[in-house]
Amino acid sequence: MKHWFFGPVTSDRIQFLRYVFVGGSSAVVNMVSYGLFTEALGIHYLIAAFFGYSLGFCWNYLISILWVFKSRHSRTKEVVMVIIITIGGLLWTELLLYLFVEYAHLHHIVSMFITLWIVLVWNFGMRKRFVFH
């Protein structure tokens, strides 16, 4: 049990579980900021999604490099690749959120919650495949 939380990652399963925790905590950062932007400040849901995603990304990247992944590239190359993947995740977020709100007629908060889980799988898979090991 101790190896799930401390020390280097020894398996893909543990790495994914750690990433789910990191993704979950960044989802909290994303959802709370998204809710504040939309509900408290009245910002349009797609614009709020951009800012919430950006804050969640910053949290996610910091914790991921400290606890989940080991880089296999120079820091500059790693950052560029993560930014490209993050832009892909942001595009997925915006598209799915728009489709859920406008076509499925779900509340924007519910839509964001569903979208976060879908994009978590995208982000993990892309980072694992191309950036980290």
Query: Domain locations in the chain?
Result: 11-131
Whole-number average pLDDT of the chain: 86
Alpha carbon distances (Å) from 104 to 90, 98, 108: 20, 9, 10
Identify the pLDDT of residue 108: 96
When pLDDT is cut at 50, 70 and 90, the band that residue 114 belongs to is very high
Count CB atoms within 10 A of the CB of residue 63. Answer: 17
Is 70 exceeded by the pLDDT of residue 133?
Answer: no
Lowest mean pLDDT across 35-39, 68-72, 117-121: 68-72
Look up the pTM and report it.
0.80
Residue 96, pLDDT above cutoff 90: yes
Check residue 109 and give its pLDDT: 95
Tokens of 68: 């989940």
pLDDT (tens digit per residue) in 37-64: 999 999 999 999 999 999 998 998 888 7
Gap between the Cα atoms of 111 and 35, Å rounded: 12
| pLDDT tier, 18 (very low <50, low <70, confident <90, very high otherwise) | confident
